[in-house]
């Protein structure tokens, strides 16, 4: 969600902060601001809108060597200049930026107001600036530590004081914060993308840690002022991976990267010799895996849809009961943790709040939780008992695409591993490995349908409602297709099992409501065709995604996109990509901001 960037060094901080905030745009925001130390004062500029709007109000006099910046996604208080960060105290000497939610801010604000502190915004975050001022006696780190002792909630913060030149104090609890170690300069950010242009050496902060940094280095302590030794990690990807590289927007680029990202996720995780999967990061022996009697997948949004596919595969191939649950529901339920149950926490960012807290609750009860995530060094990657990185590379567009197919690739590898330990024969495993290895090239073939999908999207982009329908493995894909259309085009869309249309959704069918059917050449094809005929009988427009040469489906549908044939297990990869393109082209046709859709954020780090 919100983004933080900070800089201490020999260079002009202003440009570095603005560029860093620009790289954090993908997280979603509605206002932005920076604060820069300058000649014994702290200059603040902030406003609603995009980073270019902020640039227009930053004067040339902002020329200090130390500063902090922020992109805000409104939670407490409307989208106004006053509610934008940074927030200051009455003296104007303190500046604070904050990600997260201060749960007891009402009580703190009332107490501070009674002592004469005057508030200029409606936010919970401004409380931090005044509390730091209340505790300040010449030592900013000490004042921040005293402030945090009174705060309940989540935070990633960065603070400066005009009298402590060249110094930034940051702290983390439930909201990510990363220290960047440069050559004679230091950076602080909520995401490494903000600092990758300056350094690849980073330190990932944990909850309950406070960092104090100057251009010469940093120190990290806990809330009780005990010094901590922290490992410096190296970022493995390059700056060009977060550039558009000739594509119109990041979502388009990431859709077209999927042949490579799927192959990268599978690389080294298939063993053709033994016809099985290899996932060393699980940190489990073969005997421990053999003892697993149930698998539960915990996730949110797109990752939940990938988990639904994963659960279906694991049950079908490995014959282990499996289910996927919404992390936002599980974390507040008094869940039963069984001894032989293995849990997966699935998230692109590794910071999704609901999934993180659900994982912590499960671990508190003694569960073994493995992570599946994309971001190396993220909180879930560090706190899980083991897991798998998807290695999809940075995903900048808010609407997830390549992360979904990479998560699928992990589940396909894991399902193979578990199946070969149980009932799957060597010959069946070998066919599975061969089919899975062919998926990247098949996806590349699907992407060649770009122009046809764009034409169909243009035809239907003015519809107000859509139904996405599939069965078996394609049911979660239908859910994901509907989500993508909602996210970036703002068209109402619902995903259903095609067999469920008679139980309510068929009442919505009319000549103005298109239905998108996923009809692979699988064991449920005839059932889905029957559902198509029910829609057709009620004059509902039908768009079908089916296999090459399927004349029966083409004769029923108004528009058809044909896909290459493969084993029925692998169609989710081939079906989801054209749905992503369909949503993308609908959004373009309607003039939407594809990469940064309204009200949405890339990394949901608050409830």
Residues with a catalytic annotation lie at: 2, 602
| Distances, alpha carbon 605 to alpha carbons 250, 347, 601, in Å | 22, 12, 9
Q: Is the peptide bond before 86 cis (omega within 30 degrees of 0)?
A: yes
Give the Cα separation of 511 and 493 in Å (integer): 16
- Are the C-beta atoms of residues 457 and 287 closer than 8 Å to each other? no
Compute the CA torsion angle 558, 586, 601, 371 (nearest 10 deg).
40
H/E segment holding residue 275: none
Closest CA to 24 of 71, 62, 58: 71
Q: What is the residue whose two structure tokens read 């009860």?
A: 365
Q: What is the residue whose two structure tokens read 């393109």?
A: 581
In three-state form (DSSP H/G/I as H, E/B as E, the rest C), the secondary structure along 142-196 is HHHHHHHCCCCECEEEEEEECCCCCCEEEEEEECCCEEEECCCCEEEECCHHHCC
Residue 344's φ and ψ, nearest 5 degrees, are -120, 130
Give the Cα separation of 362 and 344 in Å (integer): 11
Give the Cα separation of 212 and 600 in Å (integer): 32
- Are the C-beta atoms of residues 440 and 263 closer than 8 Å to each other? yes
3-state secondary structure of 70: strand
End-to-end CA distance of the chain: 11
3-state secondary structure of 561: strand
Dihedral sign (CA 14, 17, 23, 29): negative
Give the Cα separation of 359 and 283 in Å (integer): 17
Q: Six-digit token pair at 303?
A: 């990752």
Count CA atoms closer than 13 A to 207's CA, side-chain side: 16
- Are the C-beta atoms of residues 95 and 42 closer than 8 Å to each other? yes
- Are the C-beta atoms of residues 351 and 359 closer than 8 Å to each other? no
Q: Six-digit token pair at 552?
A: 């029966």
3-state secondary structure of 355: helix
Q: Six-digit token pair at 159?
A: 């603070």
Q: Kindly report the CA angle at 205 between 200 and 208, in degrees rounded to 5?
A: 170
Give the Cα separation of 419 and 566 in Å (integer): 20
Give the Cα separation of 169 and 156 in Å (integer): 11
């Amino acid at each position: 969600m919100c983004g933080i960037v900070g800089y201490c060094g020999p260079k002009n901080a202003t440009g570095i902060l603005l560029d860093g905030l620009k790289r954090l745009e993908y997280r979603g925001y509605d206002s932005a601001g920076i604060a820069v130390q300058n000649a014994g004062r702290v200059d603040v500029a902030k406003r609603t809108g995009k980073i270019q709007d902020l640039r227009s109000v930053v004067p040339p006099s902002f020329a200090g060597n130390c500063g902090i910046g922020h992109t805000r996604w409104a939670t407490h208080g409307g989208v106004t200049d006053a509610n934008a960060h940074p927030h200051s105290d009455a003296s104007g000497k303190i500046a604070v930026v904050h990600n997260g939610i201060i749960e007891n801010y009402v009580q703190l604000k009332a107490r501070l107001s009674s002592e004469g502190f005057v508030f200029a915004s409606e936010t919970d975050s401004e409380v931090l600036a005044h509390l730091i001022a209340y505790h300040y006696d010449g030592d900013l780190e000490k004042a921040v530590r005293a402030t945090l002792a009174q705060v309940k909630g989540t935070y990633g913060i960065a603070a400066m004081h005009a009298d402590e030149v060249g110094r930034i104090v940051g702290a983390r609890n439930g909201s990510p914060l990363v220290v960047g170690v440069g050559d004679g300069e230091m950076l602080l950010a909520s995401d490494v993308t903000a600092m990758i242009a300056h350094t690849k050496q980073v330190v990932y902060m944990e909850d309950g840690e406070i960092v104090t940094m100057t251009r010469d280095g940093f120190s990290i302590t806990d809330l009780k002022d005990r010094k901590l030794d922290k490992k410096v990690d190296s970022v493995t990807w390059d700056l060009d991976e977060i550039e558009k590289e000739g594509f119109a927007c990041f979502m388009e680029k990431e859709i077209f990267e999927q042949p490579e990202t799927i192959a990268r996720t599978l690389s080294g995780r298939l063993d053709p010799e033994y016809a099985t999967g290899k996932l060393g990061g699980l940190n489990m022996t073969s005997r421990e895996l053999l003892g697993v009697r149930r698998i539960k997948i915990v996730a949110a949004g797109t990752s939940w849809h990938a988990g639904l596919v994963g659960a279906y595969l694991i049950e079908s191939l490995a014959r282990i009961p499996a289910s996927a649950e919404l992390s936002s529901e599980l974390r507040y339920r008094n869940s039963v943790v069984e001894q032989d149950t293995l849990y997966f926490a699935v998230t692109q960012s590794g910071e999704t709040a609901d999934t993180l807290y659900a994982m912590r609750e499960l671990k508190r009860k003694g569960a073994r939780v493995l992570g599946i995530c994309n971001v190396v060094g993220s909180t879930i990657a560090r706190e899980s008992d083991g897991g798998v990185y998807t290695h999809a590379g940075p995903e900048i567009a808010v609407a997830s695409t390549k992360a979904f197919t990479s998560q699928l690739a992990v589940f396909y590898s894991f399902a193979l591993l578990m199946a070969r330990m149980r009932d799957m024969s060597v010959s069946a495993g070998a066919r599975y490995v061969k089919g899975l290895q062919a998926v990247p090239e098949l996806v590349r073939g699907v992407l060649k349908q770009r122009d046809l999908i764009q034409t169909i999207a243009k035809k239907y982009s003015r519809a107000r409602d859509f139904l996405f329908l599939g069965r078996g493995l394609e049911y979660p894909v239908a859910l994901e297709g509907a989500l993508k259309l909602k996210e970036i085009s703002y068209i109402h869309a619902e995903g259903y099992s095609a067999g469920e249309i008679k139980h309510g959704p068929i009442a919505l069918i009319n000549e103005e409501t298109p239905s998108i059917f996923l009809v692979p050449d699988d064991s449920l094809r005839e059932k889905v065709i029957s559902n198509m005929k029910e829609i057709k009988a009620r004059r509902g427009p039908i768009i079908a995604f089916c296999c090459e040469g399927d004349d029966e489906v083409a004769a029923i549908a108004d528009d058809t996109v044909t896909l290459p044939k493969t084993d029925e297990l692998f169609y989710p990869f081939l079906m989801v990509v054209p749905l992503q393109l369909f949503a993308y082209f609908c959004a373009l046709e309607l003039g939407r901001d594809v990469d940064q859709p309204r009200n949405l954020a890339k990394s949901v780090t608050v409830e």
